[in-house]
Every structure is written in structure tokens, then in C-alpha cells.
Structure 1
């Protein structure tokens, strides 16, 4: 994954925000929407693209475009920086390879402890029975 190439492939659109700002929010386009076409990216390998499609499927539309937006600030510039940070974070998280699970066996002490607990439980239940029958 090459960050510089990816940043050049991003498309931004500024629209009116529903966030804080009062009259300011009604007059200025401070919400920044980022869109990234994954399949057309040259910064990602085919395996990376597959992993992103799998991990971020909820954020990707039918055309294969990843969309994100930010309207936290009154400033379009800071919203753009925020959405880029969030985008890069999500992309890095999606590209992380999961650790393979190591199979383990229960220890000898844990086996003995489990068997003792079972024995004690069975004795408790056996003592509930009527001794005359």
C-alpha cells in the first residue's frame, strides 16, 4: 500500500453540513465527503483489494466506491484532514493480517481440577437422593 498514490486517487466533495455553526452552517459547505474507487486503485495489490472489500463491505457501495464523510468541525479544511485520517486508519486496519490461532492442550493440573469438580458435584447430587430407596 502506497499512501502517496492513494492520497492522489481520492475524490473530495464539499457539501452543506448539518453540524454546529448556526447560520454559518446554512451558508457554507463545510462537510467533506471522501470517495475512493478501490478496484481502480494502482496503489493496492489484488490481495489487498480483496481484503478491503471483505473487511469494509459495509462502507462500500455497489459500484465499488468506499465513501466516508466528516462534519465535526466548522472548518472545511479541518474536516478534510479528519476524513483523510479516518480513511487511512480504516484502510490500515482492514489490511492487517489476523494472527493465526495456536492450538493448545489443557494442562495436567487443569484436567485434574476439572475431574475433581465433577466428582464433587456428582457426590452432592447423590446425597440429595432418599437413602431408603
Structure 2
């Protein structure tokens, strides 16, 4: 599990909409966090590639991941929320995908499949209209 040091994170605070009464017009509680994933020394190359792919629309052309947090009324909780969301992305990117190794069916399994098909065919062929004698 890779942890990102806070020295690599850049925060900007701005006023957010939503609940908060008069406070919403005076206090900058919303957080925009920026993390330079392309130039981060704390990420290994495979994790960096997976993280940049996972970031999707949150990734800028410069390789910076931008996360906005406006869910809470306080700056501290929004800041913690943004950090937690980035950490969740990094944790998800740290898991290397397991690739499926293609296998071939055994001869016995092929024979069982064909026997089942043949049996089903005889059952279904017996369901038709009875033959009429002239």
C-alpha cells in the first residue's frame, strides 16, 4: 500500500454553495486538492500508470489529479475527505490486475458435452408429431 506524503499535495480553498446559512458567503470551506501524479517520487511506475488511468476526467493534460471536496461544512473535514478519496484511488491502483491464463478443455469434458448434446437431441426428436400410417 502506497501512501502519499502531504508535501506532494497542493490545496486551494474557495467558497462553496449548499447548506451553511450566512456562513456560506463568508468562509472558504470547499477544497480543491491537486496531486502531480506524473512527477511524484512516491509512486512506482506501474502504480502511476494505473492511477492515471483510474483518475479519468480528474486528470489534467499535465498529469495532475484534481479532486474537489464540498461535501462538508468545514474546511478540515473537506480536506480530509479529499485526501481520503485520493488515498482510495492510490490503493485501488496499487492492486496489480490478475490476468486469466487460458486453458484448453480436456478430452473427457469434450466427450461429456457431446454425449449430453446427443442425449438431448434424441429427447427432442421424440417430441414431434406422431407418424401417420397410410
Q: Match of 1:7? A: 6
Contact 2:69 2:81 in 1 (8 A): yes
Cα distance, 1:39–1:109 mapped onto 2, change above 3 Å: closer
Q: Assess if the C-alpha contact under 8 Å between 1:32 and 1:70 holds in 2.
A: yes
CA RMSD, Structure 1 to Structure 2 (Å): 2.8
Q: Which has more radius of gyration?
A: 2
Distance change (3 Å), C-alpha of 1:42 and 1:111:
same
Compute the TM-score of the two structures, normalised by the length of structure 1.
Answer: 0.77
| TM-score in terms of structure 2 length | 0.77
Residue number in structure 2 paired with 1:73: 72
SS of equivalent to 1:14: strand
- Residues of 2 paired with 1:85 and 1:12: CA distance? 14
C-alpha contact 1:56 1:94 (8 A) present in aligned 2: no
Q: Give the count of matched residue pairs.
A: 131
Structure 1: runs of 5 or more not aligned:
none
- The answer on whether the counterparts of 1:20 and 1:74 sit within 8 Å (CA) in structure 2 is yes
Q: Distance in 2 between matches of 1:106 and 1:49?
A: 38
* Partner SS, residue 40 of structure 2: coil
| Distance of aligned partners of 1:99 and 1:111 in 2 relative to their CA distance in 1, 3 Å threshold | farther
Partner of 2:44: 45
Paired residue secondary structure (2:56):
coil
